[in-house]
Amino acid sequence: MANPIVSIAVPVAGLVAAAVGNKAAAAGWGALFGEDAPTAKAQKAAQKNVAAQRKQAKKDGLSKAEIEAIKDPEDDQPIWKLLLWATISGVLLQGLRVAAKRGTKTGVERLASRRPRPNRG
């Protein structure tokens, strides 16, 4: 039977590793490319921003052609950047999660296991 401390600590370690890994990957992406990482959250924010710009352009009375010219910068992303992000966010972060879970499991089991009494002749 598994130790309850281990069964609690291992999933928590996986979640923490995923959160830290995502933040580190996004920060590294920003440092490397000088732009936001193409996460789902960033893509939704960009779509929302473009919709607001189009709405404002409509209110300002711009022509349909000018409104259609307002494009989402996420649409101009090269495919290799999207593939690179998918690789980073998928494979590498999953590896980080697994490593954190394994390390936590062995560490907590080592701490929580009973040690034999010292031999005091």
- The residues, any chain, with a CB within 8 Å of residue 16's CB and separated by 6 or more, are 100
**Model confidence pLDDT, tens digit, residues 2-12:** 678 888 888 88
Q: Please give the model's pTM, rounded to 2 decimal places.
A: 0.66
Query: Could you list the residue range(s) of the whole structural domain that residue 83 is in?
Result: 4-112
Residue whose pair of structure tokens reads 């966010």 in the numeric block = 89
Confirm whether 72 is domain-assigned: yes
Confirm whether 43 is domain-assigned: yes
| Domain count across the chain | 1
Confirm whether 45 is domain-assigned: yes
Residue whose pair of structure tokens reads 């779509």 in the numeric block = 47
110 residue type, one letter: R
Confirm whether 117 is domain-assigned: no
Residue 97 tokens read as: 């999660």
Confirm whether 118 is domain-assigned: no
Residue 20 tokens read as: 């830290």
Confirm whether 80 is domain-assigned: yes
How far is residue 52's CA from residue 59's CA, in Å, rounded to a whole number?
11
Residue 78 tokens read as: 């090269």
Confirm whether 46 is domain-assigned: yes
How far is residue 40's CA from residue 82's CA, in Å, rounded to a whole number?
11
**Model confidence pLDDT, tens digit, residues 54-99:** 888 888 888 888 888 888 777 778 888 888 888 888 888 888 889 9
